[in-house]
Amino acid sequence: MIKKGNLWSGRFSASPSDLMEKFSQSVSFDKRLYKHDIAGSIAHVEMLAAKGIISNAESEKIRDALKEILDEIESGRFLWSVEQEDVHMNIESALIEKIGEAGKKLHTGRSRNDQVSTDMRLYLMEEINSICGLLNAVQLELTHRAGQESGTIMPGWTHMQPAQPVTFGHHLLAWNEMLDRDYRRLRDCYERTNESPLGSAALAGTGYPIDREMTASRLGFGRVMVNSLDAVSDRDFAIEFASCSAILMIHLSRIAEELVLWSMPSLEYIDLGENFCTGSSIMPQKKNPDVAELIRGKSGRATGNLVTLLMIMKAQPLAYNRDNQEDKEPLFDQVDTVKTCLEVFLSMLPGIEVFPDNMAKAALIGHQTATDLADYLVDKQIPFRDAYKIVGRIVAYTIWNNTHLHEIPLKKLREFSEKIDSDVFETITLDGSLSRRNHVGGTAPIQVRKAAQKAAKKIKSRSA
């Protein structure tokens, strides 16, 4: 970083102290916006020329120099200066240094207030698209795996107690639904981000005969923002993105937690693969699920970023306030966190090994087909509450006799209710229980296969 003399010092006689400069600079982090800043500037000068506010020759000179600057930045030759405070003034002052008089016209009819918001929206739209691409890839892997595991029986829990058997495929599709809502929320957030603030200038618009539609469409925005005060001050798009991605991260934390639990040696439903685990420096036997734990842990910072953004905006009067500079680090961190976690999760998924025997054995623990037995009695014209009581007594019997519901001889079962016949075993085995749940959203293998295909088709159609 070098010192060059800053662009905003018109009325000032003294230079800012080093402390003040260090405190107020944002270039160390907002330089990330360089590409979008330059794109915004090029659209702006081309519009200025089209409207006769500057000459075509000036506009071309500015555009070519901005492209050179882009090149310098991307090849690492550009010298960022703290004294120039932020990405916008670094690029503008480099432009002036390069081409002199024409460069001084870039900022005509524009303010850093509409500029920064334009840059951030362009940046975020690109990142939302790349996050949605990652989500699609994760969802495709989940639905593919769900199809393969449509008949794999595992215990379903409520309160972390054995409840009713489900298939592993069904569980994977539940994850897919969570992530599918995240995808749709992000698409929705994209829609509101896709609006151009450019032309709002500092807060009140500008006296030049600008064409806001032209800059908006050159930059690929869907529409212009219709109120200049709102346009320069609004950070809803950042909050909304942080919110969508915090929910997504909470989903990943729930998934990660299940992976951690299932890989415990005492359950051993799955193996996470050595690439995604670490050992202990003291306990030679350990294989710890650190990657899943880190994903789980990072949901904390994602929630923190959302709260940070909300608090930055709380009670801010119109229009732009410098508080808004504080929006960048949480927003960037949110983007990085979500992307990294999705990338890691995506690469971890294919290596997860499933142990169907252990899952099936666990599904036999805790009388998980008791509800099916009650439903069976209801089928035989016993009111549900009576059926519930009868099955309660049968469950007590299995506990005292250390057996499973489906292992009780028919003769014994009939002592509890004469309505029980040999067809009961079609219901109270794990397979029987699963196959009866044969409706949309149910866990019957045939439904899970169908649901997996349908979900995969939907994902493929939107990524095409």
- Residue with Cβ nearer ligand ARG (3 or 454): 3
Give the nearest distance from C-beta 312 to ligand ARG in angstroms. Answer: 11
CA dihedral 84, 86, 87, 92 (to 10 degrees): -40
Give the nearest distance from C-beta 46 to ligand ARG in angstroms. Answer: 22
Active site residue 107: no
- Residue with Cβ nearer ligand ARG (8 or 384): 8
Give the nearest distance from C-beta 112 to ligand ARG in angstroms. Answer: 4
Helix and strand totals (H; E) in the chain: 19, 6
- Residue with Cβ nearer ligand ARG (29 or 355): 29
Burial 223-241 (b: 16+ CB within 10 A, else e): ebbeebeebbbbbebbbbb
> 272 with 259: CB under 8 angstroms?
yes
Beta strands in 9-57 (DSSP E): none
> What is the number of other CB atoms lying within 10 angstroms of the CB of residue 441?
11
* Orientation angle between helical segments 236-262 and 168-193, nearest 10 degrees: 170
Active site residue 280: yes
- Residue with Cβ nearer ligand ARG (116 or 248): 116
Q: Are strands 270-271 and 353-354 parallel, antiparallel or unpaired?
A: antiparallel
- Residue with Cβ nearer ligand ARG (238 or 256): 238
Q: Cα 86 to the chain's mean position, in Å?
A: 28
> What is the number of other CB atoms lying within 10 angstroms of the CB of residue 142?
29
Give the nearest distance from C-beta 116 to ligand ARG in angstroms. Answer: 4
Structure letter (DSSP) for residue 17: P
Give the nearest distance from C-beta 360 to ligand ARG in angstroms. Answer: 57
Helices (H), 149-235: 168-193, 212-218, 228-233
Cα gap 305→301, rounded to integer Å? 6
Give the nearest distance from C-beta 231 to ligand ARG in angstroms. Answer: 13
Cα gap 232→399, rounded to integer Å? 68
- Residue with Cβ nearer ligand ARG (149 or 195): 195
* Active-site residue identified among 24, 55, 130, 280: 280
* Active-site residue identified among 17, 75, 159, 461: 159
- Residue with Cβ nearer ligand ARG (26 or 194): 26
Q: Are strands 270-271 and 223-224 parallel, antiparallel or unpaired?
A: unpaired
Which structure tokens are listed for 440? 């949309």
Q: Contact positions toward ligand ARG, by CB under 6 A?
A: 26, 30, 86, 112-113, 116, 322, 324-325
* Selection from 358, 324, 318, 441 nearest residue 153 by Cα: 358
Question: So which residues are the catalytic ones?
Answer: 159, 280
